[in-house]
Each structure stands twice: as C-alpha cells, then as structure tokens.
C-alpha cells in the first residue's frame, strides 16, 4: 500500500473522528477503579450524561458496544414470550428485532421500504388494535444509520398516548445522541439505548441505557434472564461513583472531556451545526443529480446522508476508488441496499472545511468511477456553507 500523507478522512457514520483533546484525556494513567479518585470521575460522568439524554433519571453505562446496550434494554424490561412492536426502517432495526426474537420475544414486525421512518399512524393503529395489551414494548431506531432516515420519536410517543396503550417505548439513539435533538424525559421514552462512538466523539466501547421510572418498575418483574446487563447492581454501585465490575476507565476520561465539549458548544448549537452540514450535503447530492435514499423531507438525518447510485453503478466501487485515491472512508450500503448506496457521515468532530473536503473527494470519486453526475454539486454545498 502506498504511503499516505495528511489525515485520513473518516467520513463513515460512526465511529466518528475523536478530537485530539479527547485522545489526550484518554492517555492519562489508568487508576484504581475502587479508589477515591475514580469515584470523582464516575460521579462526574454520570451527572454529565443526563442533559445529553434529556433526562434527570439514571443513565446506565456499560463497557460494551451499542449491541450490548440493545440487549440490556430488552432483558431488563421484558419476559419470555412478550410481544414487541418493531419497524423495518433499515438494517439496524432488523438486527434489533432479530435479537429480540433470539432472546425469546415475539416480534410484530411492520414491513418498510428503508426510505421512511416509523409511521406514527401505524403505531396508533397497531396499539389500538391490541385491546388486550399483549404488546409490551415498542422498539424504534431514532436515526437509522443504514439509511439516513430519522424517525419522529415525539410523534411516536403522541401516537402511543392517543392509543392509550401502556407498552414501554424503547429507542435506539446509537447514531443520534449528541448530534440530533433528543429528549428522553420530555418524549416519554422508557429506555434510550446509545453508544460512545458517534455523536459522543469517543472510540467504540461504551454502551448506555437511560432508564425511566416505568422501565425501572418493569425491571423488577421482567423475567428474561440477565446477569452482566442487570441494571440493579450497577445503579446501586453508581450511587457512590463505582461499578460492580471493572469499568472502561480510560473511555470514561474521554467521556468526561466530550461531555465538557458538548456543554461548552451548547446542545442546541451542536444540533443546528449537524442540520446545517446535512443540508449542505443534500445540496451537493441534488447538484450532482443523484437521489437521496431518505424519501421524506421531515425525516432527513443530520448525521449522515445515504446516496443512491443509478442502476449499473456499484457504490462499493466508488468507495474503493475514493479510499484508494483520496484516503477517505465512506459508509457502505448495508443489508438490502448493499452496493446500491453509499453513506457520507457528517457528524461529531466536524466543520465546514471538513465537509467541503469530503464532498470534493466524493465528487472526484464519482467522476473517476464513471458515474454520470452534473457539475455543481460541491458548488451548491459551498453556497449553503456561505450562509450561517
């Protein structure tokens, strides 16, 4: 492989680039996780997480990937044979429902075309029809990382309320937390699942569950087997700033730093920055004459944009050329859209010129791959970036 110069462009929709100050924070010596200094760190990160999730309730932190946090949400709240309502919004929603099935839950899967988010009207219909309240949980992926579609969680909650149904609302924010507006308490979410490697600008390795009072109550009678994922001993130890096992000390150093950075910028500004970069990216895609996978204007993701290629063109070949020529990684199409789309991540530690460079690399790569595109994609994005 030829030698590359300059920084690699990691423009996949997570893991996202880790800021230098976070890398430095994580390079501090590992300390005794049962000593007094650790408790200070533990209490600081647990307190700092609440505002990011929009909750005053506890947030459980696991040394795990996001998949572990999915499992934790299910096994702490549900019992074997419980019904859950899931929606085929994309690859990650399909993986989560497959996990639910593997754990012994009965999944009612609403089919989807991978171009739309969860339809709140369908939520209302399904729950109204379930007059015996057999459905115990509704599982929603807030930002489908495979499609660039953001489901409208507040509207899903309102639909559940209209149906007067007591099911728990479990939401995956693995690729939205710290990038797209999200409010665990205000939207009446019961378990918010998340991970460290996207909007939180950390390496992979931390999983999160924000937990409502209703979810905590459900956990007392939930019958699925659990041990490592059990919230109770973790919440108990967390009161003093500790964990019942060895936590990921150095990732927690990094988390303390990213929480400080998010607080310093201000969450509303962080969300607006992501929306603005997403708009500029869509301006480029439209300028190239290509199609965006997300088909609903209300559901465009602030975190990533999935771009469809004309038939006969292979999205993986475009990505291969861009990696080889410009040292930039773009997201592959996953599952049903493999080879048909590629994804541009515009999240986390990111700015106008990173986006300008990213889109320039994409435009050159599309041309080199022989994809017919119009001139002016990058120019349209730059025109958007000239505006606040």
Ligand X SMILES: Cc1ncc(COP(=O)(O)O)c(C=O)c1O
Tokens linked to 367: 């041309």
Tokens linked to 59: 């947030």
Residue 121 CA to residue 127 CA, distance in Å, equals: 10
Q: Where are the beta strands (DSSP E) in the chain?
A: 9-11, 59-62, 83-87, 106-110, 135-141, 143-144, 149-150, 168-172, 191-195, 207-211, 291-292, 304-308, 328-332, 341-345
Q: What is the tally of helices (H) and strands (E) in the chain?
A: 13, 14
| 2-10, 111-119, 169-177, 342-350 -> range binding ligand X (CB under 6 A) | 169-177
Toward ligand X, which CB reaches closer, 195 or 254?
195
Only one residue has tokens 């209703």, namely: 214
Toward ligand X, which CB reaches closer, 174 or 373?
174
Give the CA distances from residue 23 to residues 97, 201, 249, 260, 326, in Å, rounded to whole numbers and listed in that order.
Answer: 35, 10, 13, 14, 24
Footprint on residues 9-38 left by ligand X (CB under 6 A): 14
C-beta of 163: minimal distance to ligand X in Å? 25
- Using the rule CB under 6 A, is 195 a contact of ligand X? yes
| 172-180, 266-274, 349-357, 358-366 -> range binding ligand X (CB under 6 A) | 172-180
C-beta of 82: minimal distance to ligand X in Å? 21
Taking CB under 6 A as the criterion, the residue among 77, 89, 97, 175 binding ligand X is: 175
Residue 135 phi, psi dihedral angles, 5° rounding = -75, 125
The 39-78 contact track toward ligand X, x by CB under 6 A, reads --------------------------xxx-----------
H or E stretch at 142? none
Toward ligand X, which CB reaches closer, 77 or 363?
77
Footprint on residues 98-157 left by ligand X (CB under 6 A): 141, 145
Nearest-CB residue for ligand X:
66
Q: Residues interacting with ligand X, by CB under 6 A?
A: 14, 65-67, 92, 141, 145, 172, 174-175, 195, 204
């Amino acid at each position: 492989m030829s030698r590359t110069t300059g920084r690699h462009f990691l423009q996949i929709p997570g893991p996202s680039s880790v800021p230098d100050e976070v890398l430095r924070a994580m390079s501090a010596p590992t300390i005794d996780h049962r000593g007094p200094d650790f408790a200070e760190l533990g209490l600081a990160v647990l307190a700092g997480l609440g505002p990011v999730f929009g909750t005053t309730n506890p947030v459980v932190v696991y040394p795990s990937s996001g998949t572990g946090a999915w499992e934790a949400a299910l096994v702490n709240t549900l019992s074997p044979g419980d019904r859950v309502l899931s929606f085929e919004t994309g690859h990650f929603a399909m993986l989560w429902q497959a996990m639910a099935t593997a754990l012994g839950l009965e999944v009612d899967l609403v089919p989807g075309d991978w171009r739309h988010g969860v339809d709140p009207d369908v939520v209302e219909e399904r729950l109204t029809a379930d007059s015996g309240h057999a459905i115990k949980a509704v599982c929603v992926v807030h930002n489908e990382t495979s499609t660039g579609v953001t489901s409208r969680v507040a509207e899903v909650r309102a639909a559940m309320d209209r149906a007067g149904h007591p099911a728990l609302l479990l939401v995956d924010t693995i690729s939205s937390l710290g990038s797209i507006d999200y409010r665990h308490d205000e939207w009446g979410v019961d378990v918010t699942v998340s991970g460290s490697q996207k909007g939180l600008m950390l390496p992979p390795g931390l999983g999160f569950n924000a937990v409502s009072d209703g979810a905590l109550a459900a956990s007392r009678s939930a019958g699925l087997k659990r041990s490592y994922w059990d919230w109770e001993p973790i919440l108990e130890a967390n009161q003093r700033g500790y964990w019942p096992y060895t936590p990921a000390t150095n990732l927690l150093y990094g988390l303390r730093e990213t929480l400080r950075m998010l607080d310093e910028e201000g969450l509303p500004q962080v969300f607006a920055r992501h929306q603005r970069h997403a708009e500029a990216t869509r301006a480029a895609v439209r300028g190239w004459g290509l199609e965006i996978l997300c088909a609903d204007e209300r559901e465009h993701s602030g975190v990533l944009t999935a771009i469809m290629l004309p038939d006969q063109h292979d999205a993986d070949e475009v990505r291969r050329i861009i990696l080889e020529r410009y040292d930039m990684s773009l997201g592959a199409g996953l599952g049903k859209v493999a080879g048909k789309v590629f994804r541009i991540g515009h999240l986390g530690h990111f700015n106008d010129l990173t986006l300008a460079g990213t889109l320039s690399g994409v435009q050159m790569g599309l041309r080199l791959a022989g994809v017919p595109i119009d001139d002016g994609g990058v120019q349209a994005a730059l025109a958007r970036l000239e505006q606040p």
